[in-house]
Amino acid sequence: MTQTAEPARTADRIKTDILIIGAGSGGLSVAAGAVQMGANVVLLEGHKMGGDCLNYGCVPSKALIAAGKKAHAMRSGGGFGVEQVDPSVDYAQAKEHVHKVIETIAPVDSQERFEGLGVKVIREYGRFISKTEVQAGETIIEARRIVIATGSSPLVPPIPGIDEVEVHTNETIFDLRTKPEHLLIIGGGPIGMEMAQAHIRLGSKVTVIEGQRAMGKDDPELAAIVLDKLRAEGVEIIEEAQAEKISGKDGEITVSTPKGDLTGSHLLMAVGRKVNLDKLDLEIGGVRFKRGGVTTGDDLRSVSNRSVYAIGDAAGGYQFTHVAGYHAGVVIKSMLFGLPSKARQDHIPWATYTDPELAQVGLTEAEAQKKFGSKLSVVRFPYDENDRAIAEGKTTGLVKVMVVSGRPVGASIVGAQAGELIGMWAMAIANKLKMTALSNTVLPYPTLMEVNKRAAGAYLGPKIFESDLVKWVVGTVQRFLP
């Protein structure tokens, strides 16, 4: 029998078509789309509008990375005839740049903007009190459809001694105004590596401590190129070194690992994320869930309460801002138009914004080999054969494409602007295009984008130039042409 919570007796009551819990990327996308198409929408947010991406994630991290790039450019202009200098870095001012970027973007995600669109915004956390009702502060909302878009938070594992020192996460590191003398980072994934390179370029000493293999979810060949670059810039990366104990005091923190003790001035935890479901009382709402998120079908609808949807991190799966936005479109189609709509993952790209960048869509080489075996063709094209890359001194990198029956099923890119270049392959996979579609595309010269077209050519070329049939046809036509 479903539990029922006792609501506050003084609570106001609201009825609405759609209730959205969480004003991050996914929740805001649903709210904006639904209200502008005529639905009655209520949006709950107990913390900051814009969620993790705007305030603690994508936006501030890329702003800090940009500051690091400016410093690095001053140190690395010698090959272009520009005198190399060691820049004077004002770490506090770099953080001011981060917060100015957040402030510039914030109005787009603000309560005022969404109220202007017609959304009723309530700045409270929500909790289920029945299968169709959620209480937020002194307000009870009864909704025909409820969307859980609560996102995720940084995971801080219970390492012995961790409570005895100050531990930074992505939620606090951007408020730090004093430059770390020596930043220890536990976690060698995308967040850890992005922050490692940004801080080494801004003048900190950096050590990354990874319990397994750094960048272990990416293609190992491409990941190695990124790791080599970070090491060359001075980042110390210790792999297969599980953090076993933390000791010391603020300003002198020691992480004990099987490979020895590592001591630094500051500690950043970047080992992963946990889905924000704790405050929701999902059992009372009859919403089944597990550690990784709400249990849904491919339609992102709860398997146990058909009035409820989950999107973004709350739905489990990929934890990316752009996935939350994509999920918003999936559920809007279902909730507003009653049409069947399912989410897929095979066309979802992602990128790590180190220098060089690393991007992926679809299957990696290892995944494609396991799935398709001898049907798989793997084609490659290096950056050092691209004229724009040569002109700009950005020749480190390559494109690798996994092809089955003439269609790409995955692409991996490491190099300058990989996060931009992966878009062509994401479009191809999403729309089931053949390699000929990319090969036939005319691109401006000289651009880095040509590495994608040349990769398509690397697949198609042998089929044309090494084909005995093609040579026979051409020879025959030449004999009979006037």
Give the mean pLDDT of 255-276.
Answer: 97
Quote the CA–CA distance of 317 and 311 in Å, as a whole number: 10
Q: Convert the pLDDT of each residue in 16-39 to its tens digit.
A: 999 999 999 999 999 999 999 999
- Please give the CATH architecture assigned to the domain spanning 162-272: 3-Layer(bba) Sandwich (3.50)
pLDDT at 482: 77
pLDDT at 204: 98
pLDDT at 377 over 80: yes
Q: What does DSSP say about strands 120-122 and 41-44: parallel, antiparallel, or unpaired?
A: parallel
Confidence at 461, pLDDT banded by 50, 70, 90 = confident
Quote the CA–CA distance of 33 and 461 in Å, as a whole number: 45
Q: What does DSSP say about strands 289-290 and 349-352: parallel, antiparallel, or unpaired?
A: unpaired
Is residue 414 a contact partner of residue 331, using CB atoms and an 8 Å limit?
A: no
Close Cβ partners of 446 (under 8 Å, ≥ 6 residues apart): 386, 387, 388, 391
CA 112 to chain CA centroid, Å, is 27
- Specify the CATH number of the domain 12-49+110-154+274-337: 3.50.50.60
Q: In this structure, what is the dihedral angle of CA atoms 222, 226, 229, 234, given to the nearest 10 degrees?
A: -140
Give the mean pLDDT of 412-434.
Answer: 98
Give the mean pLDDT of 56-64.
Answer: 96
pLDDT at 3: 59
pLDDT at 4: 59
Tokens in use for 260?
């020895």
Quote the CA–CA distance of 67 and 100 in Å, as a whole number: 13
Confidence at 469, pLDDT banded by 50, 70, 90 = confident
- Angle, CA of 372, 375 and 377, to the nearest 5°: 100
Q: Convert the pLDDT of each residue in 320-375 to its tens digit.
A: 999 999 999 999 999 999 999 999 999 999 999 999 999 999 999 999 999 999 99
pLDDT at 8 over 60: no
Domain with CATH 3.30.390.30 in the chain: 349-465
Residue 139: CA count within 13 A, CB half-sphere: 18
Q: DSSP letters of 256-267?
A: EETTEEEEESEE
Percent of the chain predicted with pLDDT > 70 = 97
User: Counting beta carbons within 10 angstroms of the beta carbon of residue 47, is it exposed (0 to 12), middle (13 to 18) or buried (19 or more)?
Assistant: middle
Percent of the chain predicted with pLDDT > 90 = 92
Higher pLDDT, 129 or 7: 129
pLDDT at 189 over 90: yes
Computed on alpha carbons and rounded to an integer, the radius of gyration of the chain in Å comes to 25
pLDDT at 380: 97
Query: Can you give the pTM of this predicted structure?
Result: 0.93
Give the mean pLDDT of 100-109.
Answer: 97
Confidence at 68, pLDDT banded by 50, 70, 90 = very high
Ranges of beta strands (E only) in 245-356 are: 245-249, 252-257, 260-264, 266-269, 273-275, 289-290, 293-294, 308-310, 349-352
pLDDT at 9: 52
- Computed over every residue of the chain, the mean pLDDT equals 95
Q: Which residue has the tokens 């740049």?
A: 97
Give the mean pLDDT of 44-53.
Answer: 96
pLDDT at 409: 98
Q: In this structure, what is the dihedral angle of CA atoms 52, 55, 58, 60, given to the nearest 10 degrees?
A: -150
349-465 fold: Enolase-like; domain 1 (3.30.390)
pLDDT at 45 over 90: yes
pLDDT at 7: 54
Confidence at 479, pLDDT banded by 50, 70, 90 = confident
Domain with CATH 3.50.50.60 in the chain: 12-49+110-154+274-337, 162-272
pLDDT at 1 over 50: no
pLDDT at 420 over 90: yes
Tokens in use for 82?
């520009």
pLDDT at 464 over 70: no
